[in-house]
Each structure stands twice: as structure tokens, then as C-alpha cells.
Structure 1
Amino acid sequence: MKTQGRKVLRRKSFRAMSAICTTGFGVFAAGIAVSIVVRGPDSDALGVVAVCLGGIAFIRRITGSRIVLGEKVLTVVNPVFTHDIPYRYVARVAADSGGNLIITTSQAVEIGAFGFGGSLVDHFVGSTDRTVSQIKAGISERRDLRGDSRTVRRFTRAWVADGCTVGMLVLFALAGVIGDWAPAV
């Protein structure tokens, strides 16, 4: 039996929001950074750039939520934790009464898919219900494949978001140091 390759399920609105917000905050931060280079170090300007980086990190974590139908595991990528569930341990996939996509394992653990949480728009568009159907079809196609023998929960890696978070912390620290050195007016 031949299976499909890896399939990523993600809201289209999340892709658009990620691109728009990352570009917007990034351009604004770059403009402030240019002013810092031209005018010299300024703790307020560094703080603004740090806030922009924090905004990018937050948006990228949220909009990076997705479900991946891999060859041997169903992966639920949420903003903080990622769950790898071997197909044979998926007991149920359904939308609850609020429209949230919930995956229940054979160990009776319920895992919510943040990227397919209920929303007013989804009530009319039905993307969560379509995703449930796609997951069920993918599971039935892949269930017999042997994979890992356990469900794994790990921290989500989001390289852009994590890099922006580190940059934000560095710039806030630098702004604090520069602010202390600023001459009193």
C-alpha cells in the first residue's frame, strides 16, 4: 500500500497574518535601527526595536500552529508544545461543541490543536471540519505503518520566533544599560 508523503494542515489566514505582521514589525524595527545608527544609541529606540521583535516572536509562535500528517506519526504543533502521536495511538479526531479540533489518544489523553481552535469565522467557513476529515483520511491510509512506540511531547522549535525572543531580551538589557549611562537632563 503506497502512502502519501508528508502533508501539512494549516489555516490560510495564519500564513497571511504571519507574513503581514512579520514584514510590518520587521520594516518598522529596521527603520528604528537605522535611526539608532544615524543618531547614536538611544535606550527608548532600542526598547521600541525590542518590542517589535517581541511582537514578531509572539505572532510567529501563534501562526506557526499546524498539524502534520507524517509517514509514521501525526504531529500537532502548538505554540509551546509539539505532540508526536503514532497513528495507531490515535483513538478519535473530532471538533468539540466550540469548534476546537481535539485529538484523543488511546491512552485517553486529549490534545487540542491550537491552529484549529474554534472561531466565529470558522463557524461559517468550516475549515476545522474539513481538517478533521483530512486527518481521518490520512490516518486510515497510514494506521498500519510501524512507527515509534510512544507518544512524545516536546517543546516547539520556532527558529524565527526564538531568535526574535533572544534579540528582544538582548535589546531590553542593552536599553537598560544605556538608560543608566545617559546623562541627566
Structure 2
Amino acid sequence: MMGADTVSSTVLRRRSWPIFFGIAILGLGVGVTAAVFKVTAMHGFREGWQGIPVFLAVAAVCGRIANSKVVMQGAVLLLVNPLRTYIIPKAMIRNVSVGDDGTLEVHLDEERKIASFAFGGSLIDRINRTSPKAERNIRSWLHSSPAIERTDLQVRWSRCILADLSLLLCVVTAGVGALWMALSSG
């Protein structure tokens, strides 16, 4: 059951990114697992484990890229880029456009603009025209209802639980492995 204060949101993202990066992470995981077993069989686990933190770091980067999106939620637009999330009040947005390179840009007052990583220009975008479609959706949202009040632009670190967990596991695995190697050398 939805409450009266529930705000509906529309998420714009390239459907191909989560699919592509999911396949890449799965394929890389299978490859790294095979490599760890092969190196372990030839040289022992002391050297074989070292591929695990590399895989976890690559999975973290891929996860952050796949998490990029644009969210129209109530009276704010969230631009979720791999590292930074911009929370932009609707009243602050002056224009939305697609740059010469195909990147979606949100223009703010004071001649500032913020580029969307989710709709950065790419070869696929030239064919599917995803950035212009996102531009039309945002323009429609901007004109759908009046902006309630203006607050300032907020910038936060993007959160991506799976990517952050992967990076944390990378650091823990590398630290424990390095400590184990240091203590067991001799």
C-alpha cells in the first residue's frame, strides 16, 4: 500500500549497460576462477589467490558505470554518475540539451551545466538516439508540473552497494592475502 507522501520517480538509463557489464563481470569471474585454479595447481595458492582482488576491483568499476542513471523524482532531478550524484531542484534547471559529442547536459542558472555519464555520447547512442530520447523525457517532466520551491544544488558521493561491497572485499582480500604471505614467508 502506498502512502500519501510517496513520490513517484522515473528512472532513465541505458538498458544495455547493466546487461553488458553483468555479462562482463560474469565472464571475467569465470575466467579469473579458472586462472586462480590453474596458477594454484602450478605454483600453489600462495600465488593463485592474487587474481581475486584484481577481479573484485574491476567488478567494482564495472558496477559503478552500470549504476549510472538519471532519476526524475518529485521536484528534483538526480544525475547519478559513477562517483558523484547531483541532486538538482527542478526550479534550478534552465535547459536540457544534447552536446555536440552526444552527451546529455543539464544547464543550470549562472551558466553552469552538468553532464550525464549515463547518456554520454557513444557509438550505440548514435544509432539508438538514447540521449535525445532522455532529453525529451526530461523536458516533458520539466513542463509537467510547476516547480515547488528552489533549494540549492547538492552533490554527494554516488552509492552503489554491490560495487562498494566488491571494492571493500578487494581491499580485505588484498590485505589479508598480503599479511598471510608476509607471515608465511620463510
Fold-level similarity (TM above 0.5): yes
Equivalent in 149, 152, 177 of residue 151 of structure 2: 149
3-state SS of paired residue (2:79): strand
2:69 is matched with: 66
Q: Mapping of 1:64-103 within 5 angstroms? A: 64-103=67-106
Confirm or deny that 1:123 pairs with 2:122.
no
Q: CA RMSD in A?
A: 2.6
Q: CA deviation at 1:119?
A: 0.9
Asked if 2 retains the 8 angstrom alpha-carbon contact of 1:46 and 1:174, the reply is no
Alignment-derived partner of residue 50 in structure 1? 53
How far residue 77 of structure 1 moved from its aligned partner, in angstroms, is 0.1
Q: Deviations over 1:85-116 (max 9, x none)?
A: 01111011001111011111123221000011
Contact 2:69–2:81 (8 Å) recurs in 1: yes
Q: Aligned-pair distance for 1:183?
A: 4.3
Q: Structure 2 regions of 5+ residues with no counterpart?
A: 1-6, 39-43
The question of 1:10 aligning with 2:17 is answered: no
Identical counterparts, % of pairs: 23
Length-normalised TM-score, structure 1: 0.85
Structure 1 stretches of 5 or more lacking a match?
Answer: 36-40
TM-score (norm 2): 0.84
Checking the alignment, whether the CA contact within 8 Å between 2:91 and 2:150 is kept in structure 1 is: no
Post-superposition offset of 1:145 = 3.6
RCO higher in 1 or 2 (8 Å CA, sep ≥ 6)?
1
Q: For residues 152 and 183 of structure 1, do their structure 2 counterparts lie closer, same or farther at Cα, with a shift above 3 Å needed?
A: closer
Change in Cα spacing, 1:176 to 1:148, as seen in structure 2 (3 Å) is farther
Partners of 1:30 and 1:94 in 2: CA distance: 44
Match of 1:177 in 2: 179
After superposing the two structures, state which structure 1 stretch, 161-170 or 16-25, moved more: 16-25
Q: SS of the residue aligned with 2:155?
A: strand
Of the candidates 160, 163, 168, which is equivalent to residue 161 of structure 1?
A: 163
Q: Deviations over 1:64-91 (max 9, x none)?
A: 1000010110000000000000111101
Q: Out of 22-31 and 158-167, give the one that drifted further.
A: 22-31
Per the alignment, residue 110 of structure 1 pairs with 113
Give aligned pairs, total: 178
